[in-house]
Structure 1
Amino acid sequence: METWVWLLAYLLGFALLQLYLYRYFIRSTSTESHDRTTPLSEGRGRSISAADAGPDEDLVACESCGAYNENHPMYSFCRECGARLS
C-alpha cells in the first residue's frame, strides 16, 4: 500500500508543478502585451508608419503592438513583435 501513497503524492506534486508553470507563463505573456502600448501612428524598427506609406500602399496594423505592416499574402506575421496578423 505504501507504493500507492508515493504514486499519488508524485502525481499530485506533478499536477501542482504544471499548474504553477502554466500560471507563471500566462502572467509573463500578459504583462509583455501591456508593455507594448504604442499608438498606431508610431512605427518602430522595420515596420512602416502610416505617414511613410504611399497613397496606393495597403497597410495593416498589428493588433498586438500597433505597428503597420504591408498587407501582402506572403506576410502573415508582424515584423515588429512577431504576432500573427489578421
Structure 2
Amino acid sequence: METWVWLLAYLLGFALLQLYLYRYFIRSTSTDSRERTTPLSEGSGRSISATNDDPDEDLVACENCGAYNESHPMYSFCRECGERLS
C-alpha cells in the first residue's frame, strides 16, 4: 500500500509541475505579443537613437516596433523584436 501512495503523490506532483510550466510559458508568450503591439519607448537602451553623433551611419526603422537599426548587409533582423527588416 505504501508504494501506491508514493506513486499517486509523484503523479499528482508531476501534473502540478506541468500545469505550472504551461501557465508560465503561456503568460510570457502573451506578454511578448502585447509588447510588440505597443510603440517603442524612448528610454530603450538597446535601440539606436535617431540623433546619433555619426551622420554617415545609415539607420533603418523597423516596420513592426519602430526601433532604429543599423543599415548593414549583415543585419537582417530587428534587434528589438526580431522581425525581418525590409
- Taking structure 1 as the reference length, the TM-score comes to 0.50
How far does the alpha carbon of each residue in 1:23-52 deviate from its partner, in whole angstroms, 9 at most, with x for none? 12421442354246116xx79544244x87
Residue 84 of structure 1 aligns to a residue in which SS? Answer: coil
Contact 1:60 1:68 (C-alpha < 8 Å) held by counterparts: yes
Q: Specify every segment of 5 or more residues in structure 1 that has no aligned partner in the other structure, as ranges.
A: none
Percentage identity across paired residues of the two chains: 61
Contact 2:62 2:78 (C-alpha < 8 Å) held by counterparts: no
Who is 1:6 aligned against? 6
Q: Specify every segment of 5 or more residues in structure 2 that has no aligned partner in the other structure, as ranges.
A: none
What is the aligned-residue RMSD (CA, Å)? 3.6
Report how many residues are paired: 76
Q: Deviation of residue 60 (structure 1)?
A: 4.9
Quickly say closer, same or farther: Cα 1:18–1:62, change in 2 above 3 A: farther
Quickly say closer, same or farther: Cα 1:34–1:22, change in 2 above 3 A: same
Contact 2:62 2:68 (C-alpha < 8 Å) held by counterparts: yes
- Taking structure 2 as the reference length, the TM-score comes to 0.50
